[in-house]
Amino acid sequence: MHKYTRILVWIVFFFMISATAQARSLQVVTTTSDLASIVESIGGSKVSVRNLVKGNRDPHFVEVRPSMVTKVRDADLFVIVGMDLDIWARSLLEAARNPNVRPGGVGYLDTSTRIARLEVPEVEVDPSMGHLHVWGNPHYWLDPLNAERIAEEAAGTLSKLSPEDAAYFESNLAAFREVLKKKMEEWRSLLGPFRGCRLATYHRSWPYFLSRFGLESAGELEPKPGVPPTPAHLQEIVRSVPEREIRLILTEVFYDQNSAKFVSEKTGIPAITVANSVGGTAEAKDYVSMIDAIVKSVAEALKKEAAHA
């Protein structure tokens, strides 16, 4: 019995230590790695950020694990992409018993609320049209100007949660904006020469990115959103390359690479794979370096393609 009491005391002690350790910084949990990176840029040393989905996995489909429950229970702030992308987090929030981070709570942040949404369905959608989101295309984080929106939202919410650090968050936000502004110039000049170029992508993850940099979509390898490419659809793409004027095929890291390879081999159009979330590739260490990597590989591939043509 004595032995058990001692073990119990140790457990309580351990818990108290971990509780005081947590008190030092705001605990932030985000669904995706992109949100984690942006919130980290704003929260700096005042926050400890963890994300639930790794950047090399599909954020649409996530198996909720018990360890996620503990993270959300201990969170002061829970940040989601919203627009039904991370709808899987709902059962997680119910299991976590932390009303502060549920919709409507002070520590709940859906960063999509002030985004200018693209591809919002005008008609009623159902699964016969593939995996469509009623609120529009949810891949808005791939537009760097939307990252600024996310950062502003994060700064606002963090300031509410920790008013004494508001100035710190505000200055981090200004710094983040400055970095983005500088980088935007660089990215624009890299992609500028390819204005109007048409790209085929695996999934419809790219409208925000493409429209920001003046590129155009020439369709997807998926016949419908979320439906894996069929041989007939790929043949159709191969056949219609001249009329679609496809210059490049873009695939996200977690999708099957063979479809892009097939079209590329049949047509000679280059195919590249890029991260669409932080951590998706080795270069995509944080938000800015991810966009950097995407822009550079797209620009490089288009340049090569132009030289070849």
In this structure, are residues 55 and 280 in contact, taking their beta carbons and an 8 Å threshold? yes
174: number of Cβ within 10 Å: 12
Taking the complex as a whole, how short is the minimal distance between the CB of residue 212 and other proteins, in angstroms? 7
| Part of the chain binding other proteins (CB under 8 A), chosen from 37-45, 148-156, 166-174, 296-304 | 148-156
Nearer to other proteins (CB atom), residue 127 or residue 268: 127
Q: Does 113 bind other proteins (CB under 8 A)?
A: yes
**Cα-based distances in Å from 95 to 68, 107, 118, 228, 239:** 10, 16, 32, 32, 50
Nearer to other proteins (CB atom), residue 224 or residue 268: 224
Nearer to other proteins (CB atom), residue 164 or residue 243: 243
Q: For residue 236, which of 248, 228, 244 has the smallest C-alpha distance? A: 244
Taking the complex as a whole, how short is the minimal distance between the CB of residue 76 and other proteins, in angstroms? 15
| Part of the chain binding other proteins (CB under 8 A), chosen from 63-71, 237-245, 259-267, 289-297 | 63-71
Q: For residue 128, which of 236, 224, 61 has the smallest C-alpha distance? A: 224
Q: Which of 44, 48, 84, 270 binds other proteins (CB under 8 A)?
A: 84
Taking the complex as a whole, how short is the minimal distance between the CB of residue 11 and other proteins, in angstroms? 7
Q: Does 135 bind other proteins (CB under 8 A)?
A: yes
Q: Does 178 bind other proteins (CB under 8 A)?
A: no
Q: Does 39 bind other proteins (CB under 8 A)?
A: no
Q: Does 244 bind other proteins (CB under 8 A)?
A: no
| Part of the chain binding other proteins (CB under 8 A), chosen from 41-49, 168-176, 208-216, 293-301 | 208-216
Q: Does 97 bind other proteins (CB under 8 A)?
A: yes
In this structure, are residues 287 and 147 in contact, taking their beta carbons and an 8 Å threshold? yes
Q: Which residues contact 133 (CB under 8 A, 6 or more apart)?
A: 83, 84, 85
Q: Which amino acid is at 174?
A: A
In this structure, are residues 253 and 281 in contact, taking their beta carbons and an 8 Å threshold? yes
Q: Does 230 bind other proteins (CB under 8 A)?
A: no
CA 100 to chain centroid, in Å, comes to 24
Q: Which two tokens stand for residue 271?
A: 């195919």
Q: Does 203 bind other proteins (CB under 8 A)?
A: no
Rounded (5°) CA angle 22-28-33? 135
Q: Does 15 bind other proteins (CB under 8 A)?
A: yes
Residue 164 burial (10 A CB sphere; 0-12, 13-18, 19+): exposed
- Give SS3 for 75: coil
Q: Which two tokens stand for residue 32?
A: 């995706």
Nearer to other proteins (CB atom), residue 5 or residue 164: 5
Q: How many residues bind other proteins (CB under 8 A)?
A: 69
Q: Does 67 bind other proteins (CB under 8 A)?
A: yes
- Which positions touch other proteins (CB under 8 A)? 11, 14-15, 18, 54, 56-58, 61, 63-67, 69-70, 73, 82-84, 87, 90-92, 94-97, 99, 102-104, 108, 110, 112-122, 127, 131, 134-136, 143, 145-146, 148-149, 152, 207-208, 210-212, 216-217, 226, 228, 253-256
